[in-house]
Amino acid sequence: MPSIVIPAHNEERTLGRLLDALLEGSRDEEFDIVVVCNGCTDDTARVAGERGPRVRVVETPVPSKHEALRLGDTHARGFPRIYVDADVVLGAGDVRALTAALDAPGEVLAAAPERELPMTGCSWRVRAYYRVWQRLPAVREGLFGRGVIAMSGEGHARIAALPPLMADDLAASLAFGPAERSVVRTARVVVRPPRTWRDLIRRRVRAATSTAQLEAHQAGHREAGPDASAPAAPPSARTGVSDLKALVRAEPALLPAVVVFLSAALAARRGARKAIKARDFDTWLRDESSRQD
């Protein structure tokens, strides 16, 4: 029985649509669904509880995604273990496809679905940004930015050793080599993007801050224990100028969108400087526009 762990912090507006999608078309006891309401001050727990006994609700006063994931693990009953953000939509068939990918013979330890980004209601600059972002090789091939990561038992053992990091999905993705991870083309998740430029920048500041934390952890790990077999440079998902140049060469019409992408990247870098300098890796800049109906 696959276990689905859903950390939820004040997600009364979004959680219901995810749970309904998971429950619709699934059989009784086909999935073990655990919702961990962490530090909630709204009706998130009630929304989860209204879905009946097929959804188990765990509550903690600690508003921490990392702690919610850890707590969810202690209550989850099976593998594969599938971690799902409360603000995305994933269906029962998509869970089956992810489970099948991990059950198939081979070396795949972690999997994620294809992402669908509905752009209705988004400003033109947000749409331009995502036209570029979705084409980046690291974004297409990585497991991050999808709100869903599925792990086999062996894969779970590997990420369980990771420290608490803001970029938990990026760290999990980079913990697996290309042959060990898979983007499952027959599974899809709906990830609602921010609708406004301001909310996009908030997301990108958070991403820049969390990436800096991850890279500091990688550097500290290398300094703490020399390992001749370790690669000279740690795996990274950063976008380089060469990536953007390659996109423009392949699609010249993307040039205006690349300019928007670069402006967002520069704004995010400026916005993240203060947090990085203060080593503030706890403040979660939340985008509320994507949670609107």
246-284 pLDDT, tens digit per residue, is 999 999 999 999 999 999 999 999 998 888 888 877 776
**Mean pLDDT across 283-287:** 72
Residue 193, SS3 per DSSP = coil
What is the model's pLDDT at position 229?
41
Contact 90, 116 (CB under 8 A): no
Task: Kindly tell me the burial class for residue 162, based on how many C-beta atoms sit within 10 Å of its own C-beta (0-12, 13-18, 19 or more).
Answer: middle
Concatenating the DSSP letter of every residue in 232-256 gives SS----PPPHHHHHHHHHH-GGGHH
What is the model's pLDDT at position 247?
96
Q: What is the pTM of this model?
A: 0.90
Is residue 232 very low, low, confident or very high in pLDDT (cuts 50, 70, 90)? Answer: very low
Q: Is the pLDDT of residue 233 over 80?
A: no
pLDDT, averaged across the chain: 90
pLDDT per residue over 111-128, tens digit each?
999 999 999 999 999 999
pLDDT per residue over 92-112, tens digit each?
999 999 999 998 877 899 999
Question: In this predicted model, which residue has the larger pLDDT, 214 or 141?
Answer: 141
**Mean pLDDT across 36-62:** 96
What is the model's pLDDT at position 134?
96
What is the model's pLDDT at position 231?
43
pLDDT per residue over 183-230, tens digit each?
999 999 999 999 999 999 999 998 888 888 787 777 766 565 554 444
Distance CA 96, CA 187 (A): 8
What is the model's pLDDT at position 224?
57
> Which tokens hold the place of 23?
């429950």
What is the model's pLDDT at position 237?
65
Is residue 235 very low, low, confident or very high in pLDDT (cuts 50, 70, 90)? Answer: low
Task: Kindly tell me the burial class for residue 94, based on how many C-beta atoms sit within 10 Å of its own C-beta (0-12, 13-18, 19 or more).
Answer: buried
pLDDT per residue over 148-187, tens digit each?
999 999 999 998 888 777 678 888 898 999 999 999 999 9
Q: What percent of the chain has pLDDT over 90?
A: 70
